[in-house]
Amino acid sequence: MVDRSPVGSLTVAGAPLRYMHRCNWKMLVENQTDTCHPMVAHESSAGTAVKIWESMEKTEDTPKPPAMEIIAPFMSPYEFFENMGIRTWPNGHGHTGVHHSIHSDYSAIPGYFESMTEAYGEDRAKEILGENRHNTVYFPNIMIKGPIQQLRNFIPLAEDKTLVESWIFRLDGAPDQLVARTAMYNRMINAPTSMVGHDDLEMYERAQEGLMADGLEWVNIQRLYEEGEDLTQEAVLNGTTERQMRNQFDAWKRFMTGGAA
């Protein structure tokens, strides 16, 4: 994220947006690397926005509005997320978007690549901007979106109450349009003003209610489980695996038991 500034520094841009959730904090952290929910959970919000855009009269030259560039990738098919890849590191850390991500295809901001090339040389500039991780989880409670300079802080207030802070950063020495896009992303996706955040909130709160019932003891996170899975090793896998969730719970169990479990 810091490398994306032509002068190698960031400035916090304003106060964070704060968003209360009546659910356990782990649901929010798991969700950061859950790639099978967007096209389903966000169909009525992002899906509707995409349909409206598709029905609008336009030519091939009509530019896609920045808001549409941000929201449309949420409706990408499963194959997109599978191919995007996921990386897990020991101790619950990991990130989605190894090969590409929902942030890969944003329009270029005039002057930005030029200033990056001037600062780092063309090859290094391309390398920096080619890293398009989706969500990077620093377990237990931080998530960073490098390509759009955002940090989310998940703050547990009770077993069923979690405050989320969404911070954004300005890339020093880069065009203002970048921080404008970052702020738009924060308002549209990760804030009380979000079009899609309420979809997730509704599901967290229903899941919390479900967990209060005693009908079923287990929560299933076995998607793409492999026999002999070793969470002490870094791995890069199919982007729809739930290995990263298993990784988080493995770390949590060890942290809470001093390694006894």
> Position 197: which residue type?
G
Interacting span for Fe ion (CB under 5 A) from 47-55, 75-83, 199-207, 208-216? 199-207
* Per-residue contact string for residues 55-94; x = within reach of Fe ion by CB under 5 A: ----------------------------------------
Do the beta carbons of residue 10 and residue 146 sit within 8 Å?
A: no
Site string for Fe ion, 151-190 (x = CB under 5 A): ----------------------------------------
Nearer to Fe ion, 73 or 146 (CB): 73
Q: Quickly tell me which residue has 């994220």 as its tokens.
A: 1
Contacts of 63 (CB under 8 A, 6+ apart): 107
Q: How many binding residues for Fe ion (CB under 5 A)? A: 1
Q: How many CA atoms lie within 13 A of 32 on its CB side?
A: 31
Query: Smallest distance from the beta carbon of 59 to Fe ion, in angstroms?
Result: 32
Using CB under 5 A as the binding rule, whether residue 200 contacts Fe ion is answered as: yes
Question: In 3D, which of 139, 144, 162, 202 has the Cα closest to residue 25?
Answer: 162
**Distance from C-alpha of 250 to C-alpha of 23, rounded to nearest angstrom:** 20
Q: Does position 30 bind Fe ion by CB under 5 A?
A: no
Q: How far is the CB of 117 from Fe ion (least distance, A)?
A: 35
Place of tokens 């500039």: 125
Which residues, 6+ apart, have CB-to-CB distance to 62 below 8 Å? none
Q: How far is the CB of 167 from Fe ion (least distance, A)?
A: 19
How many residues can be counted in the chain? Answer: 261
Nearer to Fe ion, 2 or 39 (CB): 39
Residues that bind Fe ion (CB under 5 A): 200
